[in-house]
Copies of this chain bind each other. A is one copy, B any other.
Amino acid sequence: MKLSHIGELGLLDYIRTRFISRSKDVLTGIGDDAAVLKPRVQHLLVTTDMMVERVHFDLRFTTPYQLGFKLVSVNVSDIFAMGGTPAYLLLNTAVRKNTDMAFITSFFDGIHDALRLYAIKLIGGDISATQRDMSLCATCIGYGKKVIHRSGAKAGDTVYTTGTLGDSACGLELLKKIKRTSPPHPSLVKGGSTGGARVPRRISEPLIKKHLMPVVRNPNKFVRYATSMIDISDGLLIDLSRLCDESKVGARIFLDRIPLSPQLRKAATETGIAPVQFALSGGEDYELLFTAPGKKKINAFAIGEITESKRVIVDLSGKEKPFSAAGYQHFISQGKGRPLP
């Protein structure tokens, strides 16, 4: 059954029935001109992110479930990056009218499961037709007691990341290389490989999953120590540069301390790009990058330190090389495999 069969009002009914969101804090959810929320005493955090077909995602690679899940994750990530607690989501979807209802329900399955994972509620949105590419937006609202900005880093602070870097970008590269369709091609399911790449499925799939369906980190365990924080969405160097810009400081990063997954180390060689290159400049890790004073006992990877102004990477031989903001930027043709800084 196609979306054109049930129409906008049918889709609205489906969403409204599935995501009933009245509770003691949501006075009005989906179904009025605006959502109505009870006031709270904490600071209000608001963020919005969009995902456009053939720019942010490719329907040959992602399942609709993963797409819905990721749309929620990337928005929640920004609330976490402020040290906040996400609470509500608004959703805008522009889809083609000949879209199959199975696609729509699977997309909303992904939204639903991500909402449940992060314990947030869908309170509103807008649905529209599109002539060609799908376009998705979400707005996430959260609350924070102690808000962590990009601007609080001080010289001497330690720089941390919450997980391995580069996996997502390598996963994307593998998808392009092996042109793995969604669901995976039978030869891959059996552990085989297609195209030019010879990467076993047990290596490639965790990387691909990190790209298509990121699960983002709740900072509640270390938020009391953090002096500054940002999520790594465009790449370690560009996001670290942003944090340094806002904090008016520099940073010294040690190449051998950047956490790389064993899968990345193995798969990267097949792509012709160095693992560390993915980790430094690959986007969409959605790990948190934060700073904290001195040597706290923090369950995260210490990758360097904040300096007065110098921005350098220390390579494996101990030599310092300056770095600048290399990472993904819209509107500019991207060169693959940028030189190491």
Contact = CB atoms under 8 A, between A and B. Distances in A.
A129 B329 CA distance: 9
Contacts of A45: 34-37
Interface residues of A, number: 78
Contacts of A149: 28, 32
Contacts of A130: 52, 55, 133, 135
Interface in A149-167: 149-151
Interface string A1-22: 0011011110100000000000
A81 B44 CA distance: 23
Nearest to A88: B46
Interface string A310-341: 00000000000000010001111100000000
Interface stretch (A90-98, A174-182, A202-210): A90-98
Interface string A221-260: 0000000011100000000000000100000000000000
A144 interface: yes
A37 B141 CA distance: 11
Copies of chain A in the complex:
2
A305 interface: no
A11 B332 CA distance: 12
Contacts of A77: 33
Given A33-B81, A37-B46, A55 B133 contact: no
Interface string A41-53: 1111111111111
Q: Which of A6, A230, A330 has the most CB of B within 10 A?
A: A330
Contact of A36 (B133, B144, B329): B144
Interface string A129-144: 1111101010111101
Interface of A: 3-4, 6-9, 11, 27-28, 31-56, 77-79, 81-82, 84, 88, 90, 92, 94, 97, 123-133, 135, 137, 139-142, 144, 147, 149-151, 229-231, 246, 325, 329-333
22 contacts: A7-B332, A8-B329, A8-B331, A8-B332, A9-B325, A27-B43, A31-B150, A31-B246, A33-B78, A33-B150, A34-B78, A37-B43, A39-B41, A46-B90, A46-B141, A52-B129, A52-B131, A55-B94, A92-B137, A128-B330, A133-B135, A137-B137
